[in-house]
Amino acid sequence: MSDSDKKDITQEEAPENAKGITNGRNASETLNGKTKDDFDLAAVYVSDAQYNRNIFFDTTPEAIRLYLLYNHWVLRIVVYAFIIADLALAIFEDPAVIPLPIWATTLIELVCLAVFTVRLVHYAKVIPRERFWKDPKNICIIVIILLSLVDMLIYGSLKATGYFAVRWSRVLRPLLLVNVTEGRQLRRAFRSIRNALPQILYVFLLFMFSVLMFSLMALKLFGKKGLTTNDGGAYFNDYLEIVFDLYVLVTTANSPDVMMPAYNSSVFFAVFFIIYILINTYIFMSVFLAVVYNNYKKYLKEEVRQLVRAKRHKMVRAFGVLQERKGEEGPVVTQASWNQLVRLVQPDISNAHRELLWSVSDDSNKGCIGKVAFVQLADLLNMQVIVVKSRPHPLQMWLPSLYLSSPSRLICRMVRHRLFVYAFDLIILVNAVFIGLDEENPLIANAEWAFLALYLLEILLKLYTFEPRAFFSKHEFWNWFDTVIVISALIATIINSVLKSSGGYTSRQILDIVFILRVLRLIRVVDSIKRFRAIINTLIKIGPTILTFGQLIVVVYYIFAMIGMELFKGKIRFFDAESTDPEKAFCGNPLLKNSLFAKHNYCKNNFNNVVSSFILLLELTVVNQWHVLSSGFTAVTHVSARIFFVLFHIVVVIIIINIFIAFVLEAFFVEYTVDKSNLQSCLEKKIEELELGVKQDHLVGNLVDAMETDDNDMGTSESTKAKPALMFKIASKRYKTVDGLLQRMFEADLDPEDFAEDEDFDPNNPSNVTFPNPNFDSV
């Protein structure tokens, strides 16, 4: 069915409520003249709007079914699993952590590439051909796959003939993570960086000019003074060395050592370094943050605005598919269609929840909703409404006489009492002291059993008092945390003591796990203090966005690790503690004799496998001793190896870490300042009207308006009193998706009535090239 056919149906036939239109489709299940295909199409639009997918799919029923399959979570997970497998190949390829023969890694890589190809072909079937070839991310994936194949061929043949060969295509692998359909956030982050680059470049050039000027001044001031560094070398008499030293000073890694010879010679020379640090370390680094932050915010804002527009487009299209004409009110969607749609979009939604959402949309109880109310659906579905079922305790059902007896009631009252929480906080603190003491002491070792018993007792008492399904509901993070930690600690402690008593053998690993679990248990104290809970909730909320940066970091680290491994593998060797090899003193490389690198015992910081590389890159990100680490690698190769390390510093520390800080700042400000959206207030009001709300005692004046801190108080709300069987509350501030947080950041700037009509929709904008609207029905 062509687009124009589609348009005809929605525009002409739908208003007439014509029934039984088959028109070549599966018309078996019709509702108000809509076929199942119509509902499928609308559901796809709504679901795309909900998850901000901007894929321009064919609207034929077959393409929609293929598209639904394409978006299926199993397939998405499979793709990610194969990307991870592809990336993880670095562990097994030379230089390997666990060496595998070349044919094995090649085979795995071929399988991965095959999966990516199949996924791409699937995608090509879903969207129109000309769209497919216009989309740069598809081209990217095709190029990566082809280059990988070429590289494998070259590498294999060179290796077979005994030549030296480099697996250069490994650098491309992390780009798959960026170009895969689901990598929207990551692509957006990269686009933001790319857009900010020109401005960063100008500041960077000015900054480098400043460093070069100061270096020239340093050369003239200190070069002829005959000063020596702490290890006896000449001080500041080579221009390029000075530039490097002063660049390192910007990272603060060689402060104050680089200044000491001059300072020892005269106090006035310290002024030079103070001015340098003030200008280059403090002011320029702050300016970098300001420029990165400002650009990031600006472009992100624009992109999110486009995203919100696209979302509304899709909802309007879904409306166009399902609309009917009813009376004088213009096109509407009936409750029956709406119910059918919501059931398709979110099969696991409870009836009560769905009815609640409907009552919010259809505020005046007309049985049908117009476009404005319909468009809210995506946002309504994204709002996390927690359905609280008020059920009696199972024990009350099975043994009512016992459970309702006065001792039992006393226990329940006791457990619910504030003192119960305080008592266990005290126990945790005592436990902390015991953990700190020597565990060889038998008294202490036995005390551990007592503590475990107490914690178990606490959980059992709570389960006795509170309804177990409510206690272990999805949102009760701390209950889950407690139970998992206590039970794992119990199991690990039992295994440990069994091992000990049976053979006198203590497994170091199990003991370590026991220790970690014991200490983790102490975290519970934080949960008792409301203000801490509020801070932690904010941190948890920015978690998903930190994950996007995790991916960004992985991509950048992976590329640098691959290059670093090719450049530096095997140059520095690590000898473990038992080794008596004389080469141990200089990391197996005579060029490192008496070097600071060897003196600091940094031999394990090498590029000999992908794990060490990642840890080394992390150390370089932390920056301290950056110059000592890089000096080791320049010593064993060539002074130009510094380029690699400086480049890493610029990319990771100046750009990516600043974007990370910018994102945390922005996320915190959103948590501080953004009020509830209108829609959310509507939903809350409705819940209150229906008297289905859970009483929330807001904790005002905390770090953030601690909307959610009573999530974990749920278990303590008295469930035995007469209340509606079903209650709702909004986990208002916890948006499901990263996009949700981003949209909330900028939604204040968006007009809720702005439906992004065609006139202000720019198809030339690359950010929405995957979502134009050829068959958009302006109603």
Question: Which residues, numbered 573-632, are part of the site for a copy of itself (CB under 8 A)?
Answer: 574, 576-577, 600-602, 604-605, 611-612, 615, 618-619, 622-625, 629
209 binds a copy of itself (CB under 8 A): yes
Site for a copy of itself in 488-527 (CB under 8 A): 512, 515-516, 518-519, 522-523, 525-526
Q: Tell me which of 430, 661, 725, 748 binds a copy of itself, using CB under 8 A.
A: 661
Taking the complex as a whole, how short is the minimal distance between the CB of residue 218 and a copy of itself, in angstroms? 9
> Which residue intervals of 53-98 are DSSP H helices?
61-70, 73-92
Q: Is 660 in the site for a copy of itself (CB under 8 A)?
A: yes
Question: Can you tell me which of 78, 539, 650, 694 binds a copy of itself, judged by CB under 8 A?
Answer: 539
> Which residue number, 146 or 240, has a Cβ lying nearer to a copy of itself?
240
Nearer to a copy of itself, 153 or 618 (CB): 618
Residue 526: CB minimum distance to a copy of itself, A: 6
Q: How far apart are CA 199 and CA 205, in angstroms?
A: 10
Question: Does 416 participate in binding a copy of itself (rule CB under 8 A)?
Answer: no
Encoded one letter per residue, x for contact with a copy of itself by CB under 8 A and - for no contact, window 337-366 reads ------------------------------
Q: How many helices (H) and strands (E) does the chain have?
A: 35, 5
CA dist 339 and 341 (Å) reads: 5
Residues of span 162-201 touching a copy of itself by CB under 8 A: 199
Give the three-state DSSP class for 395: helix
Pairwise CA distance, residues 454 & 448, whole Å = 10
Of positions 168, 464, 532, 761, contacts a copy of itself by CB under 8 A: 532
Q: Which is nearer to a copy of itself, 77 or 426 (CB)?
A: 426
Q: Please tell me whether residue 139 binds a copy of itself under the rule CB under 8 A.
A: no
Quick one: which of 551, 559, 605, 637 has its CA closest to 90? 559
Interface with a copy of itself, residue 237, by CB under 8 A: no
Q: Which position among 1, 197, 208, 277 is part of the footprint of a copy of itself (CB under 8 A)?
A: 277
Name residues contacting a copy of itself, limited to 698-737 (CB under 8 A). 703
- Shortest gap between Cβ of 600 and a copy of itself (angstroms)? 6
Residue 387's CB: how many other CB atoms inside 10 A? Answer: 15
Closer to a copy of itself by CB, 196 or 563: give it. Answer: 196
- The Cα–Cα gap between 97 and 91 comes to 5
Q: Alpha-carbon distance 219 to 239, whole Å?
A: 6
Token pair, residue 626, equals 């950056």
Number of residues that bind a copy of itself (CB under 8 A): 85
User: Nearest-CA neighbor of 262 among 249, 253, 281, 279?
Assistant: 249
- What element of type H or E holds 389? strand 385-389
Q: Hey, which residues between 439 and 478 contact a copy of itself (CB under 8 A)?
A: 439
* Distance in angstroms (rounded) separating the CA atoms of residues 87 and 172: 10
Q: Which two tokens stand for residue 388?
A: 């609280």
Q: Which SS3 state, helix, strand or coil, does residue 579 take?
A: coil
By beta-carbon proximity to a copy of itself, the closer residue of 24 and 543 is: 543
Least CB distance to a copy of itself at residue 70 (A): 34
CA pair distance 252, 626, nearest whole angstrom: 9
User: Is residue 669 within the footprint of a copy of itself (CB under 8 A)?
Assistant: yes
Kind plus residue range of the DSSP H or E element containing 659? helix 658-673
Q: Which of residues 291-320 bind a copy of itself (CB under 8 A)?
A: 291, 293-294
Binder among 80, 132, 239, 464 for a copy of itself (CB under 8 A):
239
Reported residue count of the chain is 779
Structure tokens at 455: 């914690």
Stretch that binds a copy of itself, among 263-271, 304-312, 409-417, 724-732 (CB under 8 A): 263-271
CB of 215 to a copy of itself, least distance (A): 9
Min dist. Cβ of residue 164 to a copy of itself (A): 29
Q: Are 269 and 222 in contact (CB under 8 A)?
A: yes
Residue 336 or 484 with smaller CB distance to a copy of itself: 484
Nearer to a copy of itself, 144 or 703 (CB): 703
Query: Does 665 interact with a copy of itself (rule: CB under 8 A)?
Result: yes
DSSP-derived pairing of the beta strands 324-325 and 331-334: antiparallel
Q: To the nearest 10°, the Cα dihedral for 277, 279, 281, 284?
A: -170
CA distance 321 to 543: 37
Q: Where are the alpha helices (DSSP H) in 674-737?
A: 678-689
Question: In whole angstroms, how close is the CB of 436 to a copy of itself at the nearest point?
Answer: 6
Among 106, 265, 339, 496, binds a copy of itself (CB under 8 A): 265
Nearest-angstrom CA–CA distance, 690 and 728:
10
The span from the CA of 657 to the CA of 638, in Å, is 28
**Closest distance of CB 311 from a copy of itself, Å:** 27
Rounded distance between C-alpha atoms, residue 621 and residue 97, angstroms: 23
Q: Does 64 bind a copy of itself (CB under 8 A)?
A: no
Q: How far is the CB of 573 from a copy of itself (least distance, A)?
A: 13
